[in-house]
Chain A
Amino acid sequence: MLYGYAGKILKYNLSSAHHSAEDIPRELAEKYLGGRGFIARLLYDMLPVGIDPLGPENLVIIAAGPLSGHLLPGSGKTHFGTLSPATGGYGDSNMGGHFGPALKYAGYDCLVLEGKARKLSTLVISDDRIDLVEDEGLAGVGAIKTEKLLKERLGEDYQIITVGPGGERGVVFSCIHHDFGRQAGRTGVGAVLGSKNIKAIAVRGTGSLPLYDPPGALKKGEEMFKVCFAKPGFKTWTPYGTASITGWVNEVGAFPTRNYQTSFAEFHNKIDGQAIVDRLLVTDKGCFCCPTPCGKYGFAKTELGSAYVEGPEYESIAILGGSCCLEEIEEVAYANYVCDELGLDTISSGVVISFAMECFEKGIIGKADVGREISFGSLSDVVYLLEKIAARKGIGEVLCRGVRHAASVFGGDSDRFAIHVKGLEWTGYECRNAPGMMLSYMTADIGAHHNRSWALGFDVSQSDADVSELIKAGGGKLGVSSPEGKVDHVISMQHSRPLYDALGICRLQTMEIGFETVHYEKIYELITGNKLSWEEMLQISERIWHLTRLFNSKHIKGFGRHYDYPPARFMEEPVPTGPNKGRFISREILDQMLDEYYEKRGWDNNGIPKAETLARVGLA
């Protein structure tokens, strides 16, 4: 018996409506833990090369971790994986909420969806009863509204994920929605689910999970909650959630503004965590077993309409607020709501839209292309473009394929400021004075995402200069934030951060209030019966990192070093304003960092893992 796990992988073929429940091989659990680890291994083994990411051959894998669904802080995470339609490579994304625990209580750690349903359908799982319910009446219905309708139809005890109109129509940055405001936003997992004619999945689980030491696990779980509540940061973290960082990111000159033209927004205090509390907040909202609820559920009223919305989180503030220049928190929240209902990732949507705004400003595209004039700072223009994207009409047909594709269509020199890596749009940290964070984005397996390694703190901690010193130091140099030592730090974080995704738990308790990892070692042992140190778990995380790199080299034709560079803007254009005025990181320095990174990873000069490296980590 695999203690801690539900023990089964449910494989559902949507074309034939047949399914099977297979035992989880012990070796899979021991070598990959669960969550992201299961997804990486199964995708690598099961996906044929050369398929269309939006075709029936692609898979959507949904996985919980060994700690998901158990009584310990932050055990509500669910992970989604696929061949990404945004990048053509490895794609995964995760969300909080309650879906993963419900899936485990129904008897499955992992759900693998194959094929394509005949008509738009909802997959309904109630323990061992599984039904594919056709319902074309849900076509075009918003993601939030669909969840509400299904809750009314099936009952509150179902946990439900949905896709919006964007996912139904193949917008490559479509997300999966859950719990009235949680999203697995990145890499287009919603588009692939939509391409399979799946509008929603509803899960109800009434079973229990086997524990190696039930009294010990219960006692330890209770202790872990008490430790969290006693942390001095507990009371200060919860009120503002992730939005609390907005002012700080501006202070250090890393806030993406006007499509990342600059890294400081004068209006940042109108869209920060305090603005949410003062002007939007209705209540805090947490996930399954969360002691530190970072979700902020609020009400936003704008000239275009009003809405209840969860968030905005920091990333949505940075991109919809900073990069698109929406200067009021109500506007950011409303745009966030429109993205959620249309089923679009706020990050990629905001980057694509701010890119279009800059192209319009520079005359690369005009009124005839867009259908109207557009400009930074206009909520009306943001919503107009979101609706065009979700409907794939007009300019939306170009923008719906992501910023890399849009630059190839618009031409001019627009690829210089199409802000992405590997085809995935950049998130909320401008890096022209943050070499560690830049390297983190460059080498993240899914593309330009921040949660694999958040090295901005390391960059800033090594810089004790005030703003005037930064400006005085001039552009093009790295006098303050040096690349030295950054590679080791980035590699270390790329093992520690994604480890939480393999265990199926939230990392915020550790990152924000200082919850010690030793607690996870102990409860993992009490739940599973396996004794692993944190260091041994990090070695598993390293194995997964090499596997996702292998996946990219297998599935992306011509994959290699050239996929690891940021856009030219970050290598050639000095930051024009703010604390980091004059700064950029040259390609020469990035090459030095990449060389060092590849060498320390055990990859060749083109960024492909060497045979001896694969043997060392157990992937030979």
Chain B
Amino acid sequence: MWGWREHMEPTGEEKLITIRINILGHLRELYPQLGEVSTVESESPITVSGIIRQLGISPRMVLFVTGNDRIIPKNTLIRGSCSLNLISPPAGG
């Protein structure tokens, strides 16, 4: 379920934000312990970079982040439960 745009303004209703993270491509070679899908939970709004760091991934290794077929800047504040895709750099052809 996608939610960042809907939750740009906090509703005050959501107690726990659950972010489902799809880890793609070369990132899965570098962080095999995370598997294909991980989940981050936060009791307060959190930036995309913060989510990446919580997973133990260097934000510098993430080429870009997408959700709902759109690119989401890493400094975006996530205020509601949603699903994000971490796209790694093309890894050498």
Contacts and interface: CB of A to CB of B under 8 A. Distances in A.
Interface of A: 231-233, 235-237, 241-242, 244-245, 248-249, 251-252, 313-315, 450-451, 453-454, 456-458, 460-464, 497, 507-508, 510-514
Contacts of B58: 460-464
B77 interface: no
Interface in B43-93: 57-61, 63-64, 66, 69, 71, 85, 87-93
Interface in B16-39: 22-26, 28-31, 36
Contacts of B71: 236
A66 to B, nearest CB: 22
A232 B24 contact: yes
B92 A454 contact: yes
Nearest to A273: B90
A229 B81 CA distance: 25
Nearest to A315: B93
Contacts of B89: 244-245, 248-249, 456-457
Given A235-B69, A236-B64, A460-B58, A514 B91 contact: no
A232 B85 contact: yes
21 contacts: A233-B22, A236-B66, A236-B71, A236-B85, A237-B87, A244-B89, A248-B89, A249-B89, A454-B91, A457-B26, A457-B61, A457-B88, A460-B58, A461-B30, A461-B58, A463-B60, A464-B59, A512-B24, A512-B88, A514-B28, A514-B36
Contacts of B88: 457, 512
| Chain A to chain B: the 9 pairs with minimum beta-carbon distance, closest first | A454-B92, A233-B24, A232-B85, A511-B91, A514-B24, A232-B22, A461-B61, A512-B25, A245-B89
Contacts of B24: 231-233, 512-514
Task: Select the residue from B29, B31, B69, B87 with max chain A CB neighbours within 10 A.
Answer: B29
B22 A244 contact: no
B60 A511 contact: no
Contacts of B61: 457, 460-461
A451 B57 CA distance: 24
Contacts of B85: 232-233, 236
B2 to A, nearest CB: 12
A453 B29 CA distance: 13
A450 B92 contact: yes
Contact of A497 (B30, B31, B57, B92): B92
Given A512-B91, A514-B36, A252 B25 contact: no
A165 B69 CA distance: 45
Contacts of A497: 92
Given A236-B85, A461-B61, A463-B58, A511 B90 contact: yes
Contacts of A244: 63, 89-90
A180 B60 CA distance: 36
A451 B87 contact: no
A511 B92 contact: yes
A452 to B, nearest CB: 9
A464 B59 CA distance: 7
A510 B92 CA distance: 12
Task: Select the residue from A252, A314, A497, A511 with max chain B CB neighbours within 10 A.
Answer: A511
A451 B69 contact: no
Given A513-B24, A514-B23, 17 more contacts: A231-B24, A233-B25, A236-B71, A241-B90, A245-B63, A248-B89, A249-B89, A314-B90, A457-B89, A460-B60, A464-B58, A511-B26, A511-B90, A511-B91, A512-B24, A512-B25, A512-B88
